[in-house]
Amino acid sequence: MTSHTPDRPRTASVERKTAETDIVLELNLDGTGSHDIDSGVVFLDHMLANFSRHSRIDLALTCKGDVEVDDHHSVEDIALVLGSALLEALGDKSGIERYGWSMIPMDEVLARCALDLGGRSYTVFKAEFNRPDVNGFATEMVEHFFLSLSRTLQANIHLAIVEGSNTHHKIEGLFKAFAYALRQAVSVSGSGIVSTKGVL
């Protein structure tokens, strides 16, 4: 992995090709939130667009997956690639805040996220949904998306719906809460590593 100092571009390009998916992803941590996304799963496109816009991370993604089977392989592999790209773009993580948290209201829903980019993967997810899918995106895959992402990003991610009932609002609230928490965590505010170990 190439080490980046805060004054260098924090960008990454990752490709993953398997018998189930063919993914190309590019991102820029210090972007403006521009995005060009074609995941093959319409509602996931909408969620990733929200993630890009609110985190201000530029994101270009294409995925050709076996969605005729279901959305599982595409959603999981996109999360794995996104996590890998974020980790690559962070470099040695010098100067980053490391921790991030947010509370996002969306009508009747209140979504919460706290995360740590400390190098240890863990996910705590507390949300229930009232329907099995939203426009081809299985609601059971929301938790799996963040679990997969946390593994390759090597991040500790806690996500929860504090209150609310609308499934669309819940999922969008979670993606937005994650976006704002990540935006805080990747922000550069110093020059050293925020850890007593000296590495993240």
- Which pLDDT score is estimated for 1? 30
Q: Which position has the token pair 């805060």?
A: 6
Would you say the C-alpha torsion 24, 28, 29, 33 has a positive or negative sign? negative
Stretches in the chain below the pLDDT threshold 50:
1-5
Q: Which helix (H) or strand (E) holds 53?
A: helix 42-55
Cβ 100 vs Cβ 182: under 8 Å: yes
- SS3 at position 56: coil
Q: Which helix (H) or strand (E) holds 191?
A: none
What mean pLDDT value characterizes the chain? Answer: 94
**Paired tokens of 58:** 């530029």
CA-to-CA distance for 111 and 105, rounded, in angstroms? 6
Angle at 16 between CA 11 and CA 22, to 5 degrees: 120
Q: Which helix (H) or strand (E) holds 148?
A: helix 140-153
- Which pLDDT score is estimated for 3? 35
- Which pLDDT score is estimated for 193? 76
**Paired tokens of 12:** 């990454």
- Fold of the 11-186 domain: Ribosomal Protein S5; domain 2 (3.30.230)
- Identity at 20, one-letter amino acid code: E
Q: What is the DSSP string of 114-147?
A: EEE-SS--EEEEE---SSSEETTEETHHHHHHHH
- Which pLDDT score is estimated for 59? 98
Q: What is the dihedral of CA 54, 42, 36, 64, to 10 degrees?
A: 130
Taking the alpha carbons at both ends of the chain, their separation in whole angstroms is: 13
